[in-house]
Structure 1
Amino acid sequence: MNTKTKISLLILMGFLTITSCGKKETTPLDQSNEMTETEGEIAVTPEAVSNVLVIEGNDQMQFSTKELKAVAGKPITLTLKHVGKIPKEAMGHNLVILQEGTDEAAFAAKAIQAQATDYIPASEKATIIAHTKLIGGGEEDTIEFTIDKKGTYNFLCTFPGHVALMKGVLIVE
């Protein structure tokens, strides 16, 4: 190899070494850390949790997320949007948040029988924290509720057959 080729390869190898040595973690400009001051101390919370939640359901029987987060003791505003096109009679979605310890399978079995009440079984009212109405393609529903106790609460869609794919957890911190 001639000297020019050796120098070119050396420069290329140096460039590749520098650019592949790792990724610097940065916080996006639009995402700031929440800071609170308590008796002269400053605490930095890495991830501020908002109690305004939006989740989407589609024509493929899927929620846009399987995990939602909220702060205990503060009002929660939850919006369910059906981003599909199929009407609720064929592809309806709702979102039901259950008390901790509720048997999802047993609840869903009772919900299938509750067509007259949009698949919300009246007999299970004590196990339901909150629920949206049943919506079809292009519709949305917003509900407000408060959960005082920290914990993990299951949510699901009770339209027949949807619970197998459309479920997740609401983590209240």
Structure 2
Amino acid sequence: MYLVSCSRTQLNFTVAIDFTASNGNPSQPTSLHYMSPYQMNAYAMALKAVGEIIQDYDSDKLFPAYGFGAKLPPDGKISHAFPLNSNTGNPNCVAIEGVLEAYFHTLRTVQLYGPTNFAPVINQVARCAAEVTDGSQYFVLLMITDGVISDMAQTKEAVVNVSIHNSLLITH
């Protein structure tokens, strides 16, 4: 991180959140998406903890934020890489507070479904990373999930391709 803060290197932070049914019903306390009026759920706590630290290393504080594995309104189409802010042309949220706001709004509007496919989001971020060829930017993808992966072969392929062609750090 010292290199990031003291040079012209730019860190690009992207978030992807699992909206599959395996996370449990958000109205139930056992769900990772539980909407308690008294405290943040597990996903929100993870977003806040990581985001508050990493946003200091991303100069524009614009974070693309995606969801995967949900049925989207109004037609119920399943998506594995949808912008949390509903803007396909600009998935950026302003700072980690913007990501949290978009997450909570999305949680109230989508239907948790499945399957849990990681590859579409990894490939989406990799396409953005591929546009930078001078080594001046690093891309960090935080995937918050319950650990179930439905497209393991495609995910492995996406990670290998990213590792060979881009500078993308994937964390989960």
TM-score (norm 2): 0.30
More strand by share: 1
Question: 1 or 2 for the larger relative contact order (CA 8 Å, sep ≥6)?
Answer: 2
Please, what TM-score do these two structures have when normalized by structure 1? 0.30
Greater gyration radius:
1
Name the structure where helix makes up a greater proportion of residues: 2
